[in-house]
Structure 1
């Protein structure tokens, strides 16, 4: 990629990130309001089935079918020198983008069969259970049909198409689910959720088809072209296809590590606790989904386009050292995000534990207080920052890693999987932490994965002759700032201890809240004063690059 494209790409990525944050803010606020109503309309058993088991089935089908191809094609070239070459490359890439649809059929059927055959009698005996599973599988296939169009719009940097499609889909899903629950009896609760998900999948497909109308073609076409050795015929672009195969193979391990807690809780916990786990996950990951998920997705697009070799480049360019400007911009983006997440971690561990009990009493419905939800939410104080670190570091890894790097990561992920299972069972059963133990195991799992990705980042920049651009000290606050956070943590914990016998409401806890606000302002002011220069040094190159 030429250095001239980096500034416009950065601007597009920043615009995409802000749009996705607004989309997630809209969709999560709507979903949060809906969930507040739904958890009062349905039993924990129904909510656990839909939010844990059905969502796990859906994510398994989608992740295994499309994730590898989607990430590989982010490295596709935006253009080539001549029109014939551009048409050939475009068709070969389009053929690869159709693979999720073809993979989705056997993946959906196999996933549904395994899930239905392994479901407990308590789960399967719920009214209209099989009908609901069928609708979720159908919803997944509708989404997969839109995948080739999604990939096309992403590679064309038409991020607004996705924002509009997902925003509309979330709204319709919300309306359909709520109306079905209100109008039908409780017997149809599972079907109501399934209809909402089906509406989501159909809306995504219709939105992308409208955005790409006039260029729709779901048939792979073999391309023939002349080379020095004669005529050559291809169905897929070789390097991107190879990368897609490697990433798709890796997705099975990565999916288990990402959704491992849901796999285990769906097998180890009763349905009522599954409902509590789902509620805690929905509340606990609200910030992660609104802010960190868009950042991760945008970072993956940006790093892929900035750093990756493309199939259209000559061989000598692929092995050349990356442009210094591109490497500097990528390092600056990465360090800025990591520094932000470091401060998030400090804020979370300083103010989360002392004020979470009050927040839980205000937000969590009473019937979920007796489930595992409160204990799980306490662990999310540490889980959310770790999700942020791991997300952006793995986005960089997926964008810059070679097939050999991906295979090495897959081997290590097998090791991480074994460690996760051992830790999850040991913490949940051995130490009696229950479902909260599964989240602690996930925290450890994410820390290992983030550490592996950080080691790759260091090695990558060193191999490009730019090792000095990356150092952990650049994302660590100075000692005076750490000291202020430590003092604030001691003060708010002392305040929490003095208010432990006071009723959990805003009026009764106003003194405790005032203490927290004062300490929070002190921490923020300290960061502004002590780290303003560091922030300016990191952000200034980005502002100049736009």
Structure 2
């Protein structure tokens, strides 16, 4: 059963990676068009502040419920009308119920606390109103998304997000080109509304309507008495616990954008948005599918309810061994990718941006922020994978303990951000390094939790299985020196020098990959 579950969980990785490659490539092309049409001020408002509003509504409404439902064992119930499945479906409606008031509250709060310079941009209120509607439109598809995940129909999500990305790109660029400069913010909002509507439309077509989604009472036996209830108490409590935790987690995840939107000039917000969009390409294409598939596998094989069931089948040990093997493989892969970011990233960022960005963006914070992202991405990958393990296996009391730790990490982030930004004068770059410190602390917490989890089951995470060989480490050090010398000698911006610098990097990468 363990091997079969792993196969089902990770059969989706290639599809999810394909989806992310397609969507990120399309988004990359879209951003290349947008940065040439929209000013840094408009781009910063839309992709930092409006996207932050959108992610706040979506994350707080659905993230905790999604993680809780992943740990349910109801996927084994073939009859969708069974009591347990109906209680499962009732929980999936909670994001919609939370989303309506949260959309209103978050929009009014953002409107009240945004700066006067931001609010005076043309059609600002119209744009944020459309973003709120777009968020709620996407939340309407959440019960159908949950049903598709429950039935392992991952192709539905791939089609929905693929179609939505295309609709967003066409709507955004079309509106920008048609409506003119004064309607730029509304054009971004129309693109997001097209995305949410497309996602909902694909799910409705797939399930031929709402598929029986709706709150329905279920008669259950409680100590010999029949009782009509809407919610499975244990699953409801876990959903609320994870939703409460997601508030802190969201601040930690989006803390840099909170602070950039509040304290940075709009022009530098545009540069920061461009840098983070480029920097997140690898994370969304590669890390996110692995993290989601890992969470699915760990939730179904190692959660407390799963363990209780598998003890009866004699499969618990094999599932723990398989999970440990997966942990070793993914962490070793992440170490290799981290080396690539740290060795090759900083020397080639200026060359890359001079090709990708128009000159007006090169004078913003984009080059500095993207160099800092080379340190941020490896730490983010480790933390995301380890937190996926925690959310899949932790008991409610352990989730409470993690929430307390995250409270401390949020304080650490704020102190580091203020220290880097004011004391050292690093501004937007300091926020990235503050996030590195924050995510590093969370990754250490995740490592300790994961180690204790396997220790209690007479297993051990072997550090030598996640660290590359000495030959790889030595080759990395040599290559790092060579390409940094190349950057000093040939990084002057001339076409011939740039070509030589790129050629040296290519040869070094091939040699490093061969040794690895």
TM class, shorter-length: over 0.9
Inter-CA distance 134–455: structure 2 relative to 1 (3 Å threshold): same
Q: How much has 1:364 moved relative to structure 2?
A: 2.0
1:39 to 20, 35, 42: 35
Residues 354-393 of structure 1 mapped to structure 2, 5 A cutoff: 354-393=347-386
CA deviations over 1:159-198 (Å, ceiling 9, x no partner):
0000000000010011011111111121111111111111
CA deviations over 1:302-321 (Å, ceiling 9, x no partner):
2111211338967x959x99
1:358/1:504 contact within 8 Å kept: no
The size of the alignment, in residue pairs, is 516
Residue 70 of structure 2 corresponds to which residue in structure 1? 74
Please tell me whether residue 496 in structure 1 is matched to residue 487 in structure 2.
yes
Residue 540 of structure 1 corresponds to which residue in structure 2? none
Q: For residue 82 of structure 2, give the secondary structure of its aligned residue in structure 1.
A: helix
Inter-CA distance 189–394: structure 2 relative to 1 (3 Å threshold): same
Residue 143 of structure 1 corresponds to which residue in structure 2? 138
Q: For residue 324 of structure 1, give the secondary structure of its aligned residue in structure 2.
A: helix
Q: How much has 1:463 moved relative to structure 2?
A: 1.4
Residues 14-413 of structure 1 mapped to structure 2, 5 A cutoff: 14-80=10-76, 87-213=82-208, 216-226=211-221, 229-310=224-305, 323-413=316-406
1:239/1:311 contact within 8 Å kept: no
Report the TM-score when normalising by structure 2. 0.96
Residue 428 of structure 2 corresponds to which residue in structure 1? 435
1:95/1:236 contact within 8 Å kept: yes
Gaps of 5+ in 2: none
Inter-CA distance 311–95: structure 2 relative to 1 (3 Å threshold): farther
2:260/2:428 contact within 8 Å kept: yes
Task: Output the CA distance in 1 between the equivalents of 2:79 and 2:263.
Answer: 57
1:146/1:205 contact within 8 Å kept: yes
Task: Output the CA distance in 1 between the equivalents of 2:87 and 2:419.
Answer: 48
Residue 513 of structure 1 corresponds to which residue in structure 2? 502
CA RMSD, 1 decimal: 2.0
Q: How much has 1:249 moved relative to structure 2?
A: 0.4
Task: Output the CA distance in 1 between the equivalents of 2:270 and 2:9.
Answer: 37
Report the TM-score when normalising by structure 1. 0.91
2:144/2:210 contact within 8 Å kept: no
2:351/2:493 contact within 8 Å kept: no
Task: Output the CA distance in 2 between the equivalents of 1:137 and 1:375.
Answer: 32
Q: How much has 1:113 moved relative to structure 2?
A: 1.0
Inter-CA distance 321–354: structure 2 relative to 1 (3 Å threshold): farther
Moved more, 192-201 or 289-298: 289-298
Task: Output the CA distance in 2 between the equivalents of 1:132 and 1:53.
Answer: 11
